[in-house]
């Protein structure tokens, strides 16, 4: 009877030890710190300087997450910092650098204490955008562009408030569709110089007529010079 009881105690002790060891092993594995690299980048939106340019950021972010070495790729709201969460070890030189170069994004890796400053807000809703979520910044930029057009035209009495509302609505809708499209840096620059401007003129002609739109465009062209 004593022998059986002693044997049971030994077995229970071994089971308990095994269970504890298993839990500790799991905790150690799960609590391992993530490998995160932060990079300073110049992706501030020209039309809205307080936010990042989703159109510029998205292609690189999406390509980064296609690489098995990268778990997550993010842009901060300001458009000044990229973050890469690595699956294992950081591989800036072998993986991140070629992608930055491909999309013509200048970068410099952050060190301490700058890295710690970024970690303080990393992944917070509204402060960081992962992958295609940067489209939210593009939609916000579209709203700003619509407002910017009417803010430019209204003060000089070039358009009425009713015309302004209609133009703002159409300009915003146009850019909400265009800015979320995937474009290379060259395509984005080209469209900004030609396609986008022509679209705004087309919207102006729709609501103001061709003659008024041409006069306004000429006037602002002279002021620009």
Residue 137: per-residue pLDDT: 98
pTM of this structure: 0.81
In sign, the C-alpha dihedral spanning 84, 86, 90, 92 is: negative
Helix H or strand E encompassing 216: helix 210-224
In sign, the C-alpha dihedral spanning 138, 140, 146, 147 is: negative
Determine the distance from the C-alpha atom of residue 167 to the mean position of all C-alpha atoms in its chain, rounded to a whole number: 27
What distances in angstroms separate CA 217 from CA 32, 39, 161, 201, one per listed residue?
59, 40, 19, 8
- For the chain, the C-alpha Rg in angstroms (whole number) is 27
Q: Tokens for 221?
A: 């062209």
Q: Along the chain (225 residues), what's the average pLDDT of each consecutive run of 10 residues?
A: 45 35 40 88 94 97 98 98 96 97 97 94 97 98 96 91 97 98 95 95 96 89 51
- Condensed to tens digits (0 to 9), the pLDDT of residues 41-100 reads 999 998 899 999 999 999 999 999 999 999 999 999 999 999 999 999 999 999 999 999
Q: How far apart are CA 183 and CA 53, in angstroms?
A: 12
Q: How far apart are CA 33 and CA 215, in angstroms?
A: 61
Residue 211: per-residue pLDDT: 95
Residue 27: per-residue pLDDT: 38
Q: How far apart are CA 107 and CA 82, in angstroms?
A: 9
Taking a C-beta distance cutoff of 8 angstroms, is the pair 62, 74 a contact? Answer: no
Residue 59: per-residue pLDDT: 97
Residue 189: per-residue pLDDT: 94
Which domains are present in the chain?
A: 35-134 (3.30.70.100), 136-224 (no CATH)
What distances in angstroms separate CA 149 from CA 65, 104, 108, 165, 172, one per listed residue?
36, 29, 35, 11, 10
Which is nearest to 137 in space by CA: 61, 52, 80? 52
For residue 18, how many other CB atoms are within 10 A of its CB?
10
């Amino acid at each position: 009877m004593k022998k059986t009881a002693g044997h049971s105690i030994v077995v229970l002790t071994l089971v308990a030890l095994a269970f504890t060891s298993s839990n500790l092993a799991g905790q150690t594995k799960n609590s391992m710190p993530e490998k995160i690299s932060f990079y300073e980048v110049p992706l501030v939106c020209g039309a809205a300087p307080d936010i990042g340019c989703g159109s510029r950021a998205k292609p690189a972010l999406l390509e980064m997450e296609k690489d098995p070495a990268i778990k997550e790729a993010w842009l901060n709201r300001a458009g000044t910092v990229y973050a890469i969460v690595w699956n294992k070890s950081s591989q800036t030189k072998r993986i991140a650098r070629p992608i930055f170069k491909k999309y013509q994004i200048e970068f410099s890796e952050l060190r301490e204490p700058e890295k710690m400053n970024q970690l303080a807000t990393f992944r917070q809703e509204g402060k960081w955008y992962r992958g295609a979520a940067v489209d939210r910044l593009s939609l916000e930029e579209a709203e700003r562009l619509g407002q910017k057009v009417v803010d430019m035209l209204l003060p000089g009495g070039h358009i009425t408030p009713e015309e302004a509302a209609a133009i703002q609505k159409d300009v915003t809708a146009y850019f909400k569709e265009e800015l979320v499209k995937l474009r290379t840096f060259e395509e984005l620059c080209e469209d900004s110089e030609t396609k986008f401007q022509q679209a705004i003129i087309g919207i102006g002609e729709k609501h103001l007529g061709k003659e008024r739109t041409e006069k306004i465009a000429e006037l602002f062209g002279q002021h620009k010079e």
